[in-house]
Amino acid sequence: QVQLVESGGGLVQAGGSLRLSCAASGTIFRPNVMGWYRQAPGKQRELVATITSGGYTNYADSVKGRFTISRDNAKSTVYLQMNSLKPEDTAVYYCKVNVFSSDYWGQGTQVTVSS
């Protein structure tokens, strides 16, 4: 069973930065796609960014140019560097990884951006 441990959320002022981390354990296989999603109160969960094992990245239009996703395959860890944060980025951020066509979700980490 794959376990995901997220860290790095918190409270930051608008314009500030945060870095999220998500470490996968419980598998000897390299995750295929790793990504970040977020869910704001009263809204559906939405994709933020994904990265394949080969390093191909995909971003939501709302975060392009501000967020950067990366991964360390040796550590089975995915990161999300968030810069120029806006109040509308406030949400619970979830890590998701795909291993052999199965998806696994992290427990979520709160990101709050004050104006």
Mean pLDDT of the chain: 95
3-state helix, strand, coil in the chain (%, to 5): 5, 55, 45
Residue written as tokens 């704001």? 40
pLDDT in tens, 12-51: 999 999 999 999 988 777 788 999 999 999 999 999 999 9
pLDDT of residue 100: 84
